Structure 1
Amino acid sequence: MAEIATAEQAANDGLVLAFGRLQGAANRLEYILGRAIEEECGISHLMFEVLLILGRAGDAGLPMRAIAQERVLTTGGVTRLVDRMEAAGLVARDADPDDRRGRLVRLTPAGEETVVRAARLHVENIRRHFVDPLPAEHRERFAEDLKILSHAARDALPRLR
């Protein structure tokens, strides 16, 4: 492996360039797809992700701590986000039967309708901007490679408390 000794070598290193392209593509795609959800459904991309997390959790809902860990947010950040989502009628908080002080967050019917509508739009836009530009023979392998990278990065993160 060649040692990086100059700014030009650093800027043109193959691994640095590849990671920069991945990060740039992810940032641009998040902007494009998130903007569409905001414009069409009236929620932020982060709210959409929380609605998806709650959809996976089922009717019982999840504690704030679990949402924070899933999204790599602080519990304070999740509390503020859930406050806004509750005010919009997308989620409700109920007493946690396993923790007297805890609250479980769950989808409301309006939250369910919003996440379904947003997901339909999101899938269409993912297909258009994320899948269709790739050669058909690469798509399945690319999705698998992203899963591997995501799990490796998740496992490298310290668990939030």
Structure 2
Amino acid sequence: MNSDTRWLDASQQRSWRALVIGTTLLMDRLDDELRQEFDISLTEYEILVRLSEREGRQMRMAQLADALAHSRSRVTHTVTRMERQGLVRRSHSPDDGRGVLASMTEDGMRLLQAAAPMHVEGVRRHLVDLASAEDFAALGRVMNAVTDQLIVGHPEMEIRRPTV
């Protein structure tokens, strides 16, 4: 082993493992709840949220992928599935004709409005209400620092776009 490696101490290792398993279980639970109640995945829900926050409820597919920190191919496959369900539609950008826009349909908006209260309650029940306000704020600061550090190599990404 490399003697220059800065190994995690026992406390750091416990925290790291708690983050890994907690994040996995949280995302799986939120995804399961949306699938059971509304037949959509957490990723599909997040696409609807991102579109709902934009003027005209639309955005370029590349920007949508960046906003979700997903690959463009993954978002394309997901949007294709959502398009078949009538939740979104794609069209060419009127600005340059090359870009592809994803737009939320009225059915997509109705689904989002129906699913949002249950999803937010799940986020509260499974995360927010388990932490003090100070701990939750600290978690946000830490994850913002992680995001800032990791997107340095991707300045075109719109992950940091403020939400409405």
TM-score (norm 2): 0.81
**Segments of 4+ in structure 1 off by > 6 A?**
none
Cα distance change, pair 149–98 in 1 and its aligned pair in 2 (3 A): farther
Q: Distance in 1 between matches of 2:32 and 2:136?
A: 23
Partner of 1:64: 61
In the alignment, is the contact (CA less than 8 A) between 1:93 and 1:106 conserved in 2? yes
Partner of 1:107: 104
Deviates most, 142-151 or 21-30: 142-151
Question: Aligned pair in 2 of structure 1 residues 31, 64: CA closer, same or farther (>3 Å)?
Answer: same
- SS in structure 2 opposite 1:106? strand
Contact 1:34 1:45 survives alignment (8 Å): yes
Q: In 1, distance between residues paired with 2:16 and 2:73?
A: 31
Look up the match of 1:128: 125
What secondary structure does 2:98 align onto?
strand
The structure with more radius of gyration? 1
Query: Match of 1:151?
Result: 144
CA contact (8 A) 2:34 2:119 kept: yes
Q: Percent identity?
A: 28
Say whether 1:54 aligns with 2:51: yes
Q: Which runs of 5+ in 2 are unaligned?
A: 158-164
Is residue 96–residue 102 contact of structure 1 (8 Å, CA) maintained in 2? Answer: yes
**SS of 2:99's equivalent?**
strand
Find the counterpart in structure 1 of residue 134 from structure 2: 141
The answer to whether the Cα contact below 8 Å between 2:51 and 2:57 also exists between their aligned partners in 1 is no
Q: How many equivalent residue pairs?
A: 151
The normalised TM-score by structure 1 is 0.83
1:86 to 83, 86, 95: 83
2 CA distance for matches of 1:141 and 1:99? 46
Report what 2:31 is aligned to. Answer: 34
In the aligned structure 2, how far is the partner of 1:23 from the partner of 1:4? 25
Instruction: Report matched runs for 1:4-43 at 5 Å.
Output: 13-43=10-40
Correspondence 1:45 to 2:30: no
RMSD across aligned positions (CA): 2.3
Alignment check: 8 A CA contact 1:60 1:104 kept? no
Give per-residue Cα distances to partners, 1:14-33, cap 9 Å, x unaligned. 11210211221111111112
More helix by share: 1
CA offsets, 1:48-75, max 9 Å, x none? 1111111111315110111111112221
